[in-house]
A = this chain, B = another copy of it.
């Protein structure tokens, strides 16, 4: 597909798709006329990129970890340098921290909502 369709299907502006490409997060082949051409699988990849960005990871990091997150995972780990592994471990730990933190706070919100609802129903009775 071309950039317009990808843009619609991912709810992401064309400009931003080009930006992600510029940042090395997204690869597009080119038609004879210079138009970008995107593979079907890139819809998911864009969602992944946006999810990671939304979670607070910078493109710099996303660029590094993205290649390790694809389905045919067994294929290409010959490029696993020690620095790369360390980066991945660090980032994995940071993500775990984020998960724990978010979970705790979300649960606190849930509790609060429960308390409010309990209070409201008690008041109604």
Residues of chain A having any CB pair with chain B under 8 Å: 48, 51-52, 54-56, 65, 68-69, 73-74, 77, 80, 85, 88-89, 91-92, 95-96, 98-99, 101-103, 105-106, 108-113, 115-116, 119-120
Contacts and interface: CB of A to CB of B under 8 A. Distances in A.
A98 to B, nearest CB: 5
Contact of A56 (B54, B68, B110, B120): B54
Contacts of A69: 105, 108-109, 112
Contacts of A99: 99, 102-103, 106
A54 B98 contact: yes
How would you classify the secondary structure of chain A's contact residues: helix, strand, loop or mixed? Answer: helix
Contacts of A103: 99
A4 B80 CA distance: 43
Contacts of A106: 92, 95-96, 99
Contacts of A74: 115
A79 B92 CA distance: 39
